[in-house]
Structure 1
Amino acid sequence: MMALVSAGARRPIRLRAMRAFRAILQQGSVTAAARTLGLTQPAASRLLAQLEQDLGFELFHRDRGRLVPTADGLMLYEEVERALDNVDRVQDLARDISDFRVGRLRLVAPPSFLEAILPDVIAAFLDQYPRVHLSIDSHGVETTKSMIASRAVDAGFVKLPLNRDDLDARTVLVSETACVLPSDHPLAEREEVTAQDLKNTPLVLLGQGRRFRSQVEAAFAEAGVAPRVRVETHTVASSCALVARGVGVAIVNERLAQAYVRDRTVLRPFRPGILHEYAFVVSNSVKPSRLAEAFFALALAQGAPPTGGA
């Protein structure tokens, strides 16, 4: 119902009646207006009669079958025209929102995940929803979780475990750990590489103080080997770039590393196995937006294991 109502009206003016009034005034007759609106002539006449009754004044003079707008009718028409234009804009916007033609999606993701996995997801998302504004930021793990929980962003990607009860997580990617080696490295001939194999080998290691780094160090400790760390870094991309330049051997997330392994480097599974699990995470205080759900669906498809070998 529209709020356009006169002081003496018994009920608000109905949108359908407003459209009928506008069409009758513009077309000059009830019959022509009815055709424009897809109504029968009696139906359009009833809408006009009911509108005049609700308003308490005449909108048209009846002159030998002709309808001539009254001064009151012309005054009301100006406001009706503006109101219906606004209604049309609201309906257009509602259709755009429903069809994902407009909107905003704010995400946060770890740098390596953003660089290795999400570019294809982002491209596919924007191809489907070209008028949606998408922003993706990167922060430390705890800041990322807090941003999602407080709804500073709509959703994000976080490496599990979460260890929080104010977030909901859905796994999008599970990966093994692998070694990135120069293609001419002696260990490149192996089908897999163990911690024992890496004794005295210069290493490029990630995540000082993180759970994955502790797991890697535990694997070396179990093998009775002291890791020879040559470089500490924080992204899979930088690790692979250093390996390609002969700095050392990197131990990284296999799925993320596949984006950076080139002609001068190869991937080999690292043993004992260490799993990496990433999840699409939202605050559990609100239902995810439809845009967030659409992005999740694309990320889930991208996170599936590739059909070809690395």
Structure 2
Amino acid sequence: MNFRQLEVLRTLLVTGSTTATARAMGLSQSGVSRLLQQLESDLSLQLFARDKGRLIPTPEAEKLAYDAELVLSSIDRFSNLAQDLRSGAVGPESIRMALPHSLADHLTPALLADFDKAFPRVRIETFFDTSMSITRLVEQRTVDFGFLRYEGQQSAGVELEKVASGRKVCVIPSGHALAELEKITPKELRGIPLILIGRNRPNRMKLDEVFRRAGVPQNVKIETHSNNSAFAFAAHGLGVAIISSFFANLTRDPKVVVRPFDPPLTQEFGLAKAAGVPLSIAADALIKRLKQMLISMEQETA
């Protein structure tokens, strides 16, 4: 038994003829007759008596009609709910995403404003943290997905798609003598107060190794764990910040200039979700919008 057979029963009870039922359901008359015969066979009941081309419902058909209507109404509600989920009229209770602190004021507001146009009833919960913490949030399924810096190794419980990259740059106060140079090497940074981030993290350790090989001791003025704060400290003349171009390019500030650090040190960034766990339609739509914005941003600054 299937729902099309129940639809034939419902429509026949209203129209009283296979011709009218076929027209209403967009079927052939023989198709209607076949579905009715299948239903009667499946139920082992005669549902209609035939009288000179007319179909007269039996008491059994009248009795079944109420429950048939309930089943079909439930199927209609189910189909409508699926349509609403696809269109964004409804969605999961919330989508939870984790991003670096540096994206709290940049990119995220525009991302959510764009997403809200298509999914106005979906609630968003944002977490802003370090890449290490974001990995843990994804792995524990506290968040649906996260954007983080790729450190060279990733938990087996996390799937990471690399979507952006950046290279180390120096953020220099605009009046500083180094602002006149086209690129900055460790030699130029000898004795210069530095603003560095991510102590003991793999990418920071690579930077420290470059200075060691150049024989230049670092004059670390400020240690911080946020690209935004490193940029702001440099803009206030507290030193030269060395951060990823991905984050440096998020802000335009006349109080600083940005110069490539040489030798080149690159970083990759990715979108992460729990391994083997599918996203809801709404969460998938949000992660695709974020991916598109990240790719566009990287192309604009290339």
TM range (shorter): 0.7 to 0.9
Residue type of the alignment partner of 1:221: R
Q: Distance in 1 between matches of 2:15 and 2:67?
A: 18
Task: Specify whether residues 35 and 171 from structure 1 end up closer, same or farther in structure 2 by C-alpha distance, changes over 3 A only.
Answer: same
The answer (yes or no) to whether the contact 2:101–2:130 under 8 Å persists in 1 is no
Residue 234 (structure 2) pairs with residue 243 (structure 1): yes
After superposition, give the CA deviation of every residue in 1:256-279 in whole Å (9 maximum; x if it has no partner): 111123222221112232211112
What's 1:82 paired with? 70
What's 1:4 paired with? none
Q: Distance in 1 between matches of 2:53 and 2:200?
A: 88
Q: Distance in 1 between matches of 2:244 and 2:58?
A: 77
Residue type of the alignment partner of 1:242: F
After superposition, give the CA deviation of every residue in 1:5-35 in whole Å (9 maximum; x if it has no partner): xxxxxxxx32211000111112343322221
The answer (yes or no) to whether the contact 1:173–1:278 under 8 Å persists in 2 is yes
Residue 173 (structure 2) pairs with residue 171 (structure 1): no
TM-score normalised by length of structure 1: 0.79
Task: Specify whether residues 140 and 243 from structure 1 end up closer, same or farther in structure 2 by C-alpha distance, changes over 3 A only.
Answer: closer
What's 1:55 paired with? 43
After superposition, give the CA deviation of every residue in 1:129-181 in whole Å (9 maximum; x if it has no partner): 55555444234444432333344433322322124344333211111111112
Task: Specify whether residues 262 and 78 from structure 1 end up closer, same or farther in structure 2 by C-alpha distance, changes over 3 A only.
Answer: same
What's 2:138 paired with? 148
What's 2:7 paired with? 19
Q: Distance in 1 between matches of 2:113 and 2:214?
A: 43
Residue type of the alignment partner of 2:147: F
TM-score normalised by length of structure 2: 0.81
The answer (yes or no) to whether the contact 2:86–2:281 under 8 Å persists in 1 is no
After superposition, give the CA deviation of every residue in 1:229-285 in whole Å (9 maximum; x if it has no partner): 333322112222222223332111111111123222221112232211112233444
The answer (yes or no) to whether the contact 1:220–1:226 under 8 Å persists in 2 is yes
What's 1:209 paired with? 200
Structure 1 position 37, deviation (Å): 0.4
Uncovered stretches (5+) of structure 1, i.e. residues with no partner:
1-12
After superposition, give the CA deviation of every residue in 1:100-127 in whole Å (9 maximum; x if it has no partner): 6654444323322565455555555555
Identity of aligned residues (%): 34
Q: Distance in 2 between matches of 1:51 and 1:300?
A: 50
Residue 101 (structure 2) pairs with residue 111 (structure 1): yes
Residue type of the alignment partner of 1:81: E
Q: Which has the higher mean CA deviation after the structures are superposed, 67-76 or 188-197?
A: 67-76
Could you tell me which of 240, 253, 265 is aligned with 1:262? 253
The answer (yes or no) to whether the contact 1:21–1:48 under 8 Å persists in 2 is yes
Residue 264 (structure 2) pairs with residue 276 (structure 1): no
Q: Distance in 2 between matches of 1:112 and 1:211?
A: 19
Task: Specify whether residues 93 and 203 from structure 1 end up closer, same or farther in structure 2 by C-alpha distance, changes over 3 A only.
Answer: same
Q: Distance in 1 between matches of 2:300 and 2:44?
A: 76
Structure 1 position 290, deviation (Å): 6.1
Uncovered stretches (5+) of structure 2, i.e. residues with no partner:
none
Residues matched between the structures, number: 298
Structure 1 position 217, deviation (Å): 3.1
Q: Which has the higher mean CA deviation after the structures are superposed, 238-247 or 148-157?
A: 148-157
Structure 1 position 307, deviation (Å): 4.8
Residue 29 (structure 2) pairs with residue 41 (structure 1): yes
What's 1:232 paired with? 223
What's 1:157 paired with? 147
Pairwise CA RMSD of aligned residues? 3.2
Structure 1 position 188, deviation (Å): 1.4
